[in-house]
């Protein structure tokens, strides 16, 4: 998603904020829906399979993303020692 900035008068901002709150959505989503409606674009529906390869695991080192190579090679060294 790309961020953009718009400038609107204060009174309109208050009105849009109230309308968005009535629908239980953020102001950003309010504007996205309005823009899609104006352009005749339907909102893309996402599937759970569109998440890609994001995996959440419990346990393990907290600094694994930073020291992944270190832990990998330590593991490989231990495997070689036990062969």
pLDDT tens, the chain, 83 aa long: 788 999 999 999 999 999 999 999 999 999 999 999 999 988 777 666 666 666 666 777 677 777 778 777 887 777 777 66
Residue 4 in any domain: the answer is: no
Residue 69 lies in a domain: yes
Let me know if residue 63 belongs to a domain: yes
65: in domain? yes
Q: Are 67 and 61 in contact (CB under 8 A)?
A: yes
* CA-to-CA dists, residue 79 to 35, 39, 51, 69, 72, angstroms: 57, 59, 33, 15, 11
Domain count, the chain: 1
Unique residue bearing structure tokens 């309109």: 12
DSSP state of 67: S
Q: Say if 1 falls within a structural domain.
A: no
Gyration radius of the chain's alpha carbons: 24
Domain hosting 21: range is: 10-81
pTM, to two decimals? 0.50
20 within a domain of the structure (yes/no): yes
């Amino acid at each position: 998603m790309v961020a953009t900035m718009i400038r609107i008068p204060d009174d309109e901002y208050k009105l849009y904020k109230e309308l968005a709150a009535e629908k239980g959505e953020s102001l950003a989503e309010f504007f996205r829906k309005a823009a899609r409606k104006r352009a005749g674009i339907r909102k893309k529906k996402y599937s759970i399979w569109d998440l890609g390869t994001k995996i959440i695991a419990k346990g393990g080192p907290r600094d694994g993303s930073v020291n992944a190579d270190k832990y990998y090679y330590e593991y490989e060294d231990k495997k070689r020692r036990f062969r």
